[in-house]
């Protein structure tokens, strides 16, 4: 019984710690989101973060991200969470893209890709 109170306090602290550690950044509702353009918004992200590092450019890599057709092969229009590109840029595992030592995409870049896929991954 003498350990019950400290254990209860510790359990309460752990619960508070776990609850506050869970974070969800709300995504802008589609009706309030700007229209995302592949050419003006998404392709520059792919070029500057994925192809110039030598990973997904034209030089012999099977997972190229240079053109709309290249990118579309890894996207399920309207379903970001079913798209391999979105999964790769949001993963918290060894498979996350871009690979270290390259920096991860910013939250704004990730949101741009998310919204583009959600809006149908159009070639606009």
- Scan for tokens 């993963």, then name that residue: 91
Domain assignment present for residue 54? The answer is yes
CB 96 within 8 A of CB 89: yes
Please tell me the total count of domains within the chain.
1
Domain assignment present for residue 47? The answer is yes
Domain assignment present for residue 27? The answer is no
Domain assignment present for residue 13? The answer is no
Question: Which residue range is the domain that position 75 belongs to?
Answer: 34-118
Domain assignment present for residue 15? The answer is no
* 67-112: pLDDT as tens digits: 899 899 899 999 999 999 999 888 876 556 666 667 888 999 999 9
CB 122 within 8 A of CB 72: no
DSSP 98: S
Domain assignment present for residue 68? The answer is yes
Whether the model pTM is above 0.75? no
């Amino acid at each position: 019984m003498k350990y019950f109170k400290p254990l209860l306090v510790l359990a309460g602290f752990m619960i508070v710690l776990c609850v506050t550690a869970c974070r969800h950044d709300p995504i802008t509702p589609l009706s309030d989101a700007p229209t995302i353009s592949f050419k003006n918004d998404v392709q520059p992200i792919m070029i500057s973060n994925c192809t110039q590092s030598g990973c997904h450019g034209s030089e012999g890599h099977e997972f190229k991200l240079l053109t709309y057709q290249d990118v579309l092969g890894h996207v399920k229009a309207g379903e970001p969470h079913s798209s391999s590109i979105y999964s790769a840029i949001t993963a918290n595992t060894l498979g996350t893209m871009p690979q270290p030592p390259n920096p991860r995409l910013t939250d704004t870049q990730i949101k741009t890709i998310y919204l583009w896929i959600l809006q149908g991954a159009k070639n606009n």
